[in-house]
Amino acid sequence: MNEYLDLIKPCDIEKPYMFVSYSKRDAGKVYPFILRLQQMGCNLWIDKELRRSVGSNWQKNVLAALQSACCRGVLFMISEHSMRSAAVFAELSLSQTSSKVHRRHDGMALKILPVNADLSWSQSKVGLATWIYQTVCKDTTPLSLDDYDCLNVGKALERYRLPGSAEYIEERGEIASAILTDILEPLGGSKLTVASIEELDTVLENIDKECFANGLPKGGKQPAQISVSIASDPVRPQDAEIQRKVYKNGDVYEGQLSDGKRHGQGIYRFANGSVYEGEYRDGKRCGFGRFSLANGDVYEGEFLDNKYHGHGIFRFSNGEVLEGGWENGVHIQNNDFH
């Protein structure tokens, strides 16, 4: 994932660009997609420097990027993760409600272009609203302090973060409901046609049509290709189906398999009550995931060969937090991120 991130070019903020709103848990799919769009001439703002760090830097930079007169729209990378992300909800809401955004764009909100970044959902099989209600809205995970910090960036979100309000949000599934009601329903809801992350030409056409009066580069010589593509991502096999496997010890796995091994996105429920939700490669936890231990501790971040490895945050059940870099399961450095 980091090799993709290093290849993403910084946004030219002096020229028209699209803001990318996504969940870092989808980075394995989003970063290669961004690279492909950049190759085809798209100027994109993505928080690669911020690493979705919650706090003043995140608020300042996200607000500045959305309020710039050069920002022409928002690419909303729809997935189970982004639909329950407080940071994504805040970004989408600001693009629609911020008075500064309106002033910079002739009194209009920014265009939002949804892109299907979730292999578990196919619009040809089930409508968007139905999929959201059946999957994401059922998440009862309570919001963290970081989540409420995200909801603190705009006055329009006050009703969601103030205890006692009729719309006060306490669980991640309620974020999904709010995104559906506030963002997706005005765009068309169940009738909304959403291009897949693999339909690159359609995404480009939508960006060109909806957000760029002068259009994107058409024809001519394309930029030199680099050896990265969506199809090359070994963690997300395109055609893998969600399967259920019950083990003799009582553990249960629901997710993608390859040659009988856990490979792709999945949820593993241990018989002792622990739950891992995230990416697998060749049967091992590898990529981004969330590990909720039976004792109440929770780790959320990157894995390699079943070990914490990369950026991650470990929240102990007693309220203590350990965050930053990890190597082979050992915490090695502090570094704020989200």
Mean pLDDT by 10 residues, the chain (338 residues): 69 90 85 86 77 57 86 91 91 82 71 85 75 85 84 74 79 90 81 79 82 46 33 40 87 89 90 91 88 92 89 86 84 55
Positive or negative, the CA dihedral 284, 290, 292, 293 is: positive
Residues 76 and 114 sit within 8 Å (Cβ to Cβ): yes
| Helix 86-97 / helix 172-179 crossing angle, nearest 10 deg | 30
- Whole-angstrom Cα distance, residue 312 to residue 29? 19
Residue with tokens 């893998």: 240
pTM: 0.64
Q: Domain ranges in the chain?
A: 2-211, 235-333
Residue 262 has a pLDDT of 92
Q: What DSSP element (H or E) covers 172?
A: helix 172-179
For residue 75, what is the enclosing H or E element? strand 71-78
As a whole number of angstroms, the distance between CA 301 and CA 314 comes to 8
- Level-2 CATH architecture, domain 2-211: 3-Layer(aba) Sandwich (3.40)
Residues 66, 100: Cα–Cα separation, whole Å: 9
The pLDDT of residue 268: 94
pLDDT of residue 233: 39
Q: Which DSSP state fits 282?
A: T
Cα–Cα dist 295/304, whole Å? 23
| Separation between Cα atoms, residue 62 and residue 143, nearest integer Å | 21
Does domain 235-333 bear CATH number 3.30.70? no
Note the pLDDT of residue 284.
Answer: 94
